[in-house]
Chain A
Amino acid sequence: MIKSELVTKLAEQTNLTKTDAENIVSTVFREITKALVQGNRVELRGFGVLSVRERKPRVGRNPKTGAKVEVASKKVPFFKAGKSINEALNKNQKTSKK
């Protein structure tokens, strides 16, 4: 499913125009992005938590030449799936405890 399909689905379910649904979906992801760029975490109960993790600087290698290259520290987005997303995805399977 791509964004436009999500928009269509949301519009159908809610009797919103596609433009409105599109604006909603865009706003949600824009707000999440904005929060992450500011270094904040986004907690959506039942869905998951998005946060930013820092990667330390390291010495990498050019795989072709073997030359060492410094790789600067950087920040990467991280998603941890929430409990109910895992439950929804595994409802047909017997889940062992833990």
Chain B
Amino acid sequence: MTQKTITRADIADAIYRELGFSHAESFKLIEQMLQDIIEALSEGETVKISKFASFIPHKKKERVGRNPKTGVKHAISPRTVVSFKASNTLKNMLKNS
């Protein structure tokens, strides 16, 4: 099976076909939705989409890392990262796909 890459355009197309919004409007709506998710995450909120997955912001403390090539130590600044936890529904759908 050859792998395809699905982008906003494909999702916008599905919204156009199934719900009748114009392509331009579909794009805007997808964008707005993604921005809303990002905004919630940046406020430290977990975003939980049932039957799909949770996006969880995790705060990381500063730590010392190493350049794996040279072995030189340097500090890794504190940061927030997003972790993705798939729902059981999604996991089961993929398991044997």
Contact = CB atoms under 8 A, between A and B. Distances in A.
B64 interface: no
Contacts of B33: 6, 10, 24-25, 28
B5 interface: yes
Interface in B36-55: 36-42, 45-53, 55
Contact of B29 (A10, A29, A43, A86): A10
A89 B19 contact: no
Nearest to B75: A96
A41 B10 CA distance: 12
Contact of B15 (A24, A43, A91): A24
Contacts of A48: 82
Interface string B50-72: 11110101000000000000000
A56 to B, nearest CB: 14
A21 to B, nearest CB: 8
B14 A27 contact: yes
Contacts of B76: 96
Contacts of B75: 96
Interface string B17-32: 0110100000011101
B10 A31 contact: yes
A24 B29 contact: yes
A45 to B, nearest CB: 7
